[in-house]
Chain A
Amino acid sequence: MPDGFIVTAIKSFVLVNLVMVMFAFMTWFERRLIGRFQVRLGPNRVGPFGLLQPIADLGKLIQKESLIPVGSSAFLYLVAPVISLFSALMVFSVVPFGGQATIPGTDYQIYLWIADPNVALLLVFALGSFSFYGFLVGGWSSSSKYSLYGSMRAVSQLVSYEVSLALAVIGVVMMSQTLSLTGIVDAQQRDGVWYIVPQFAGFVIYLLASTAEVSRIPFDLPEAEGELVAGYHTEYGGMRWAMFQNAEYIALIAFSALASILFLGGYDGPVLPGPLWMLIKMFIFLFLSIWVRSTLPRVRYDRLMTIGWKVLLPLATVNLLVTSAIVAYRA
């Protein structure tokens, strides 16, 4: 911990709030944008351009009655959304938003990341696998068939696509020769090329698999309303439901941040300061996600599994073999 305890605590506090604001903005932006895609206005009443809509939603959700379903395991029912939200937020502890920065007015230097372990990427996956437990525990403890089916679907989908996701990312790791996220950004500067160019196949696999990992359309099968009511959070309401949603959006933001770092050079860019570049790149991925959501229909469940195991996994493996051959040849 090069910064010491207090600086790290302050940075964590700022980051968590920043991510929460991004989440609130994202819900507003998504609804407005989908409105535009569907030739309607979207929420535009609360505040200028409807910008205060998330706060109004929050006010509504907080007032809702807190219910615990009969026959559920109350402790697990209450703790499941916390697991999801916590593991989604924890990912940001290793995401670098820039290099070193000086606090204006002083000459105090801080790093624009909370931790930079040499296995940051593995930690991201470790924490990612923890969000599964939030879904599974939430679905199981609700003592409802729809919740259980929803959580089963969620978990089998996430487990299937995590394999391809990890293999796609390993291509980048091979080229950069490091698992540290700042190291990967440095390696892209060293190689003089963002890894989206040499690792384009990996990038496409990453995009598809990460969409499935955050259960967004066209891969939002865990929440297919027509079949499962609302999936694993059927029995949840009010703020606990909001925490599940929150976790999902934060996971989306985290995957966008990771995509920016792995494939678009992270905080690397000309003229503008690093953190701004990072936000711009994340914004591109968030926009892409909303665009896809408002364009594509949901895939069928068996096809989802087919895409995961019979298309993405072989592609990712081939990509990995080719990359390793090239890296070994050049070394």
Chain B
Amino acid sequence: MTYDIVFVAASALAIASALGVVLSVNPFYSALSLIMHLVSLATMYLLLQADFLAAAQVIVYAGAVMIMFLFVIAYLGNRADEPTRDIPLWQLGAAVVAGAAVVIEIVVAVASQAFGPGKTVTDQFGNPSLVANSFFSRYLLGFEATSILLLVAAVGAVVLGSKRPSPRVDQPDDFPAPRPQPELELQAAVMGAETAFPVHHMPRKDEDGG
């Protein structure tokens, strides 16, 4: 009875928040709805006795991944919907076709599988040691390949992030080289324009000594 109530509530919340992801105008609300959706799914995993899966879902997706989404959206502020503003028509068409394909796929999949009681879930389902065993024995190759992929992505992000934009050869005027500043001017700038004191450059010993 309690399970039924929780299941219905979680399903309703999952559907409502999924709609919220698509229908929200503000991307911040979309991201928050996606988090709600992931949490509702985690609740369903809990109902299936898969505690580990639920915890992993919340930590990885609702926690780590989505916090980055929100972080970027909050930083971009009002410009967050910029990428979607001037969509070319062919992209819109492609999106509709791809969405329709997914819908057809789901309908076919659901139609071919008779609804009804599925396999019985054992007590051990989703148990951490069971999950670990399958990761480190049967699916070891895939597991390792995934981790290498993530590592490559992390290294790539660091490389991209640390690179300064270099001036393009064909448009050298885009990035004017910084004008060398005399030391005197720099000091005056640091002290502020309203500084009434004259700023004198004190020659260091090694400067006139050569």
Contacts and interface: CB of A to CB of B under 8 A. Distances in A.
Interface of A: 5, 73, 76, 117-119, 122-123, 125-127, 129-130, 132-133, 136-137, 139-140, 148, 151-152, 155-156, 159, 179
Contacts of B127: 118
Contact of A132 (B54, B56, B67): B67
A73 B62 CA distance: 22
Interface string B55-96: 110110011100100110011000000000000000000000
B2 A133 contact: no
A150 to B, nearest CB: 12
Contacts of A151: 74
B52 interface: yes
A73 B56 CA distance: 31
Given A119-B52, A136-B70, A136-B71, A130 B2 contact: no
A244 B67 CA distance: 19
B29 to A, nearest CB: 8
B99 interface: no
Interface residues of B, number: 21
A133 B58 contact: no
A328 to B, nearest CB: 13
B51 A136 contact: no
A129 B63 contact: yes
A300 to B, nearest CB: 20
Given A73-B28, A122-B128, A126-B58, 5 more contacts: A118-B127, A119-B128, A126-B59, A139-B74, A140-B74
Given A137-B32, A140-B74, A179 B63 contact: no
B14 interface: no
Contacts of A159: 64, 67
B44 interface: no
Contacts of A76: 32
